[in-house]
Chains A and B, each alone.
Chain A
């Protein structure tokens, strides 16, 4: 028998429950721009289409300082507090 030491951070990923989908969109929809080039063009278009088709919802825009770094904690907390839905413009 050989004994070795665990080289990892020993965390087991937490499994998360997906929020139930009821087919309805209401409340505040956040549009998150991670700041990749042209991400704003995609989100502008989504903004326009959602506003046309779902006049009852409120759209709020968010943006990360730079796409290369993780989202700042404050911004993540703000989106969680303010939004019922978030659409993120992932790049590439």
Chain B
């Protein structure tokens, strides 16, 4: 026999009815606007007339108004218990009303069924009569239909069910609950609490957070990282709360989780990325089948506005750093100028438009894996304009010249990452005469940016670069050595994105790359 949950409910006369009970108990859940419940109501009342002296025969009604209507409509005399908050219905975990539980020992159900199958109700009548040793109820069974489908229980309405799940004892919700008085404006309250990046937030109600958590199979309590500077526990639940605030859909959550795992590694060093006065921010590139599944944008405006997934995934990561890590502008987020990337910067690579292996495959993942890669970038996308080049090496040369701007055109041999976003029209020019590998493009970039070391020495035009004192220690031969923009080809990362029309590529400029600062990190995204 299945154990049945305990409850204390109030009937229409104000009496408390408690279960488990010392008497055999028949518990029938109904809702007033269900036709089948109205068919069953007189039958249940007849059971009460027949067995009410020796057993509890209770109707449990799913709305307060409905209890009164049912009583008046059918002239009911049995106790009608109020479950308008639906917690008892939720605990009993049935789908259809009427739902019947016959508990001969007052503790556990021997018989339970849903809807109206006449034979089940007749068998129940017999079972109760034989248990109690009395005679069966006086019911005109021939007048009743053989079968009627029930109605969906009210506790399964999506809005209501999310609330009930959030409030249940085994709810995954563990975060502190904050009550906002009805006189207060929820959006203003969240601004006042410092939860926002400056834009309005979606209120993270328990119902919304539960729906968000449905986007992952991972345990809501799992701690995936300690997030600096407070070293706050980044649980799946806390990430889901911030994802709700950012405006994410549940299917985006695995991307947000993977991105947060990536930025919280020692290699990526989100603390330094936030703290630097230079103003770095994570740039998220998403690859693999998940991009299409969740509707990410890799085409027109991929790096701009208008796509919910791109915008809110990046924003959720930033909000998590702010709220879980405790990094606030003026606190440990200390950028001199800041950058719009500190709101959000996330896009998908346009893999199907590119002859090159996509970023995640280059970095050792399978093409069918979904992967997020994070880069610490300080500016971008800065545009590289070339509407004239028609030859592969010409356009490759242009892309190189565009990258001279990283940090300052005078600086060379930079140990600094760049993320070059090649647009489809520039890609077509590169591929015009056959495959033009990424490595060939990297070589070309390095080749066209080569300059004598002496061009880097501080002078009257600009005091930046190699100090005059350091230069004085070098020979003419050393100063004439030509050096490329980047200290190695490995600093040049290349992806494809953008619309088919337009000869405009873009570049993100990095921060201090390597162990001294930040290294790009890729994380596989959970398959759902």
Contact = CB atoms under 8 A, between A and B. Distances in A.
Contacts of A10: 175-176
Contacts, number: 90
A3 B230 contact: no
Interface stretch (B66-74, B201-209, B283-291): B201-209
B229 interface: yes
Contact of B173 (A2, A5, A7, A66): A5
A7 B230 contact: no
B179 A1 contact: yes
Contacts of B204: 4-5, 7
A16 interface: no
Contact of A8 (B266, B326, B516, B518): B326
Contacts of B516: 66, 68
A69 B182 CA distance: 44
A68 B269 contact: yes
Contacts of A8: 195, 232, 323-324, 326
A66 B515 CA distance: 8
A92 B276 CA distance: 10
Interface in B469-528: 512, 515-518
B233 interface: yes
A70 interface: yes
B245 A7 contact: yes
Contacts of B178: 3-6
Interface residues of B, number: 45
Contacts of B54: none
A5 to B, nearest CB: 4
B232 A4 contact: no
A68 B276 contact: yes
B271 A9 contact: no
Nearest to A68: B272
B228 interface: yes
7 contacts: A1-B181, A2-B179, A2-B205, A4-B204, A9-B238, A10-B176, A68-B271
Q: Which 9 A-B pairs have the closest CB atoms?
A: A9-B232, A68-B272, A6-B176, A7-B323, A5-B175, A2-B180, A7-B241, A68-B517, A8-B323
